[in-house]
A and B are shown apart, each in its own frame.
Chain A
Amino acid sequence: MRVLETGNHFVALAVRSAGVEVVPAYPITPQTQVIEKIADLIAEGEMEAEYIPVESEHSACAALISASLTGVRAFSATASHGLVYMHEMLHYAAGIRVPVVMANINRALGPGWNIWCDHQDAISQRDTGWLQVFVSSHQEIVDTVIQAFLVTENRDVLLPMMVNLDAFVLSHTYMDAEVPSPEEVKRYLPPYRPRWRLDTRLPVTHGSVVYPVDFSETRESMKEGQENAREIIREAAKGYEEMFGRWHGDLVEEYRVEDARHLILAMGSAAAECRVAVDSLREEGHSVGLLRVRFFRPFPVEEIRRLCQDRDDLLVMDRNYSYGLSGALYSEVKGVLYGRTNIPVRNLIMGLGGRDVTHQLIERMAVKAWKGELDDITWADSHSTKSHEITKEMLGRFEEMLD
């Protein structure tokens, strides 16, 4: 079925097609449309699932975990402050090994209060144990939500997955995409069959105290789950392409990289904008390609080592910042390349708090980078305006008044 919908509604339609049975959720801009649509589908009898309204995101995640432990396919959605409010339960979900999927609509964290897109929310959940994928189109939203269940439910993975889509740029924008029916998806994604579940007929305790003598083993097993996920993600993407004819990459997506001297690396919708920049830079005779990093966890270690080392340089775009160091993708890329290459790797910080990411600015920055005119880390779209100067001036006067 081809439809014209918002990115958020495409999440909901994919969740229905994936045969999700329980959806606990708490509304937050810009995620609200996702759960409104799911609630509508359930109310209209078009989706057979239990919708659980809760009083906070912390509870949403707790209910998500509990639902999954009873052996059903469960999904939730959140954004920004909702995601970070879940932080404790995100660790819990991964530690207790529930194969749940959650859409996170990437939104800045305040203050300053801001409802628009950046990746700070997801990046600050990096070490929770969740698989994290970033999508760049409406079609990829649909196809990734469906693939996510196949990956997380694989018994060699059993870790939750966060499907990240950019606030407004994807979430509230209407575009056309194909949604496979629940019947079609069943052939790709069989009904969830847990190895065990919470059942009063067979009572067990799960997730209780683990002493030092066993703890490292539980954590090493999570590490194994993430490592195993790499191959499962590749197979899930390949299998999806075979069945539905659509490919968005696996851990990464390559675009015009074969002969490229320069590579740009980016995540999310900004990577689609980079694709436009690559085309236009190629037309001007520059040898450049795009490596779109889809999975931030597990990190595409092999792919980046294989695809990045024999280039002239790399330009890594981050829509987040790890304060006191650099953009998060930048530091990961440099980390996996350590000792293998000496090519320059530069970092562009762009698009924070919904600042529009334009291919024109990417093109200008890329050319500057290749001429050696950029610092290692460049805040590409940050500049002082007249109103910032006025604010600073006011602050000075405030200080005088207090004295």
Chain B
Amino acid sequence: MLEIRVHGLGGQGAVTLVTWVARAGYAQGLHVQASYFFAAERRGSPVKAFLRISEEAIFVRSQVYSPDLLLVMNRDQVPVALEEGISPDGRFLINGGEELAHRLASEYGRDVYSVDATGIAIDLGLEIDGMPMVNLPLFGAVARQSGAASLEVAMEVISPIADKTGRPEAYRSAVTRGFEEVTRATPT
């Protein structure tokens, strides 16, 4: 069973992101479970989103404490996210540039995977109410880094959504860039 946990802020689209990954798993005929927890129902407050993908029926109902992939959408949440736990072989992915990734890799003594989802979203002009739609590139990044979905499957999920907007190509290219632009920083 693949387990993912995402830490984000209200408005960044963490919940939507895990439902996209769930759809990708579901499209491959797998059992999925996407859930979330937030404290206050408002923008900017911390949100945790959870995902399980399994070949077998899923009975576990609790939150994900030992994820195979841990994604942090906002750098301020890195300490909280790591403290809450990650599987010993888990992959740690952040929304951020390579410089930040290298700094965190040294600070925490572990590999840090990163993609500048904020940069990609701004680059493509993808914003809602002034907030960059970071969950689009991060969907691509999570799909690949967790092994949940190929780029083709990710496109199958995002295309019907993209086609309903005025910017379908920008949506697709955000996901593609997220899929392709993740780099790994190792501790120095």
Contact = CB atoms under 8 A, between A and B. Distances in A.
Interface of A: 4, 136-137, 166, 168-170, 172-176, 269-270, 272-273, 275-276, 356-359
B35 interface: yes
Contacts of B37: 168
Interface of B: 19, 22-23, 26, 31-37, 58-63, 65
B26 A272 contact: no
A173 B34 contact: yes
SS of A interface (majority): mixed
A280 to B, nearest CB: 10
B33 A174 contact: yes
Given A4-B22, A4-B23, A176 B31 contact: yes
B62 A357 contact: yes
Given A4-B22, A4-B26, A174 B32 contact: yes
A172 B31 contact: no
A113 to B, nearest CB: 11
B7 to A, nearest CB: 16
Contact of A175 (B23, B36, B58, B63): B58
Contacts, number: 54
A174 B61 contact: no
A168 B35 contact: yes
Contacts of B23: 4
B26 A176 contact: yes
Contacts of A137: 59
B86 to A, nearest CB: 16
Which 5 residue pairs are nearest across A and B when measured between Cβ atoms? A173-B35, A174-B34, A358-B62, A269-B61, A4-B26
A359 B32 contact: no
Contact of B33 (A175, A275, A356): A175
A169 B50 CA distance: 11
Given A4-B22, A4-B23, A4-B26, A172 B35 contact: yes
B61 A272 contact: yes
A358 B23 CA distance: 25
Contacts of B31: 175-176
Contacts of B35: 168-169, 172-174
A74 B56 CA distance: 36
